[in-house]
Amino acid sequence: MRKSRTSRLVFVTAFLSATPALAAGSGDSGFELGVRTGYAFSAGHLGAPPDGMDEHVGDYVSGQWPFWIDAGYRLDHSLYLGAFFQYGVGFVNDDRQDYCRNANVDCSASDVRFGVMGRYHFSPVRQASPWLGYGLGWEWGSFSSHQSLIGSTNTEYTWSGWEYANLQVGVDFQLPHRAVIAPFISFSLGEFNNLTTTVKGGSTTTTTNQDLAKTSLHEWIFIGVRIAIMP
């Protein structure tokens, strides 16, 4: 009888001791929303259409100003799975695209990426929680020019293809109200396989879609900051 009471006491004590730990662990899971911005440097090549050359990405844009949003689920303190979307404003390389410096010509560029991603968070060190991330998805890169010297003509080039890898490293620092701020750096590797050219002049629009005769790898080196609302 005394053994039975002792066993029950041990069980209750162990259960009550474990309950706070379980509650703390379950509190790490839930929906997470984050936004990012910074600057991304361009590198690599665009690929070559059947009648063209394999040009550098940097011949069109030296870099971009990305606006990124990601949303997903924190499985526990360590693991996160989610999706991302990015729209980047490109910085036109006027030195290479010198016609863009003409007073009657306006050039612009953009980069759109979306895909899935995951992150692994290491054990926090004081208020800092380092993490590694990996993503992949699809990318569209666009360059357009509008000239009004002779009539009005808009020409837009859009490259599209897979982003095979988006490698990320960052450190979360705790903010009030379940928020974190994280400086990070990412390196993405992609390959365009298609080029669409659209020319609009007056009421006439001509669109040409070509598979690239030669594909090449290109990269973005994104340095920035992420702000997120945690579970």
Distance CA 75, CA 121 (A): 11
Domain boundaries, the chain: 31-229
DSSP 44: E
Contact 86, 42 (CB under 8 A): no
What are the pLDDT digits (tens) for 79-133?
999 999 999 999 999 999 988 988 889 999 999 999 999 999 999 888 899 999 9
What are the pLDDT digits (tens) for 144-171?
999 887 778 999 999 999 999 999 999 9
Q: Which fold has domain 31-229?
A: Porin (2.40.160)
Which pLDDT does position 10 carry in this prediction? 39
Which pLDDT does position 2 carry in this prediction? 44
Q: What is the DSSP string of 86-154?
A: EEEEEEE-TTTSGGGGSTTEEEEEEEEEEEEEEEEEPPPBTTEEEEEEEEEEEEEEEEEEEE-SSS-EE
Contact 46, 61 (CB under 8 A): no
pLDDT beyond 70 at 55: yes
64: pLDDT confidence band, cut at 50, 70 and 90? very high
Contacts of 129 (CB under 8 A, 6+ apart): 121, 122, 123, 171, 172, 173, 174, 180
Contact 93, 84 (CB under 8 A): no
What are the pLDDT digits (tens) for 134-145?
999 999 999 999
Distance CA 231, CA 58 (A): 40
CA torsion sign for 114, 116, 122, 126 is: positive
Distance CA 175, CA 228 (A): 10
Other CB atoms closer than 10 Å to residue 137's CB: what's the count?
19
pLDDT beyond 60 at 206: yes
Other CB atoms closer than 10 Å to residue 187's CB: what's the count?
14
Mean pLDDT rounded to a whole number for the chain: 89
pLDDT beyond 80 at 19: no
What are the pLDDT digits (tens) for 27-47?
479 999 999 999 999 999 999
Distance of CA 208 to the CA centre of its chain: 28
Contact 212, 49 (CB under 8 A): yes
